[in-house]
Each structure stands twice: as structure tokens, then as C-alpha cells.
């Protein structure tokens, strides 16, 4: 007799972002408080202000297309990941831009 609890969680599902990760493990990042005061203190390390055209995004960052705030993750972001922008309350899906190859966020709702 098998139940939903007996499912083997050793391999990620085919469509999940973890399945796209060739190493099987994402790189971890230590996030420091950036002083971003538009969100509660508990969440300030996950956001920073966009510094303009010369600003480069790291592998764990994506810019919100709605409010132009950089959303940071403690792990490497991959296409298909979902992120939340607390300042504008948008739910975003990470995708790869075909022209530049960079990661970008698309508004889900």
C-alpha cells in the first residue's frame, strides 16, 4: 500500500528549476543587510536599490520590472524560479533573455 508520503524525493521533477541545475546543488550566498528601508528589517537583506546603468547583477539577483528594485536570493537563481517583490507586491518568474542571455523577471501577477 503506497501513499503520497512514500514518494521518493531524491530526484527533482523534470520541469522544476532544480532539474535545470547541472551540479544538482545551487551555489549559496551570504546576504548582508543593505539598509533597504522600504521593507521590514527582517527582509532587508533580500532587496537592494538599483544603482543605474553601471550596476551589474550577480547570479543570485534579478531586477523587478515594476519598481526597479533588485531582488536577492540566498541561492543561485535559475529560469523557472519564482520570486516575490515585497515593495510592489508583485510575484515574478525568472526567465532567460534570449537576446542577451541574462536572467530577467517576468510578472506573473
Domain parsing of the chain, residue ranges = 14-107
Hey, what's the cell of 46?
533580500
Q: What is the pTM of this model?
A: 0.75
- pLDDT (tens digit, 9 = 90+) per residue, 16-74? 555 555 555 789 998 988 889 999 999 999 999 999 889 899 999 999 999 999 999 99
**Can you give the C-alpha Rg of the chain in angstroms?**
16
Instruction: Give the 3-state secondary structure of the chain.
Output: CCCHHHCCCCCCCCCCHHHHCCCCCCCECCCCCCCCCCCCHHHHHHEEECCCCCCCCCCCEEECCCCCEEEECCECCCCCCEEEECCCCEEEEEEECCCCCCEEEEECC
Amino acid at each position: 500500500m503506497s501513499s503520497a508520503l512514500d514518494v521518493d524525493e531524491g530526484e527533482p521533477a523534470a520541469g522544476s528549476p532544480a532539474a535545470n541545475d547541472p551540479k544538482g546543488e545551487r551555489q549559496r550566498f551570504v546576504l548582508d543587510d543593505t539598509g533597504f528601508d522600504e521593507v521590514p528589517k527582517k527582509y532587508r537583506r533580500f532587496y537592494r536599490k538599483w544603482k543605474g546603468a553601471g550596476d551589474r547583477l550577480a547570479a543570485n539577483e534579478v531586477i523587478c520590472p515594476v519598481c526597479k528594485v533588485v531582488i536577492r536570493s540566498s541561492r543561485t537563481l535559475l529560469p523557472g524560479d519564482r520570486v516575490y517583490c515585497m515593495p510592489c507586491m508583485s510575484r515574478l518568474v525568472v526567465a532567460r533573455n534570449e537576446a542577451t542571455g541574462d536572467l530577467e523577471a517576468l510578472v506573473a501577477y
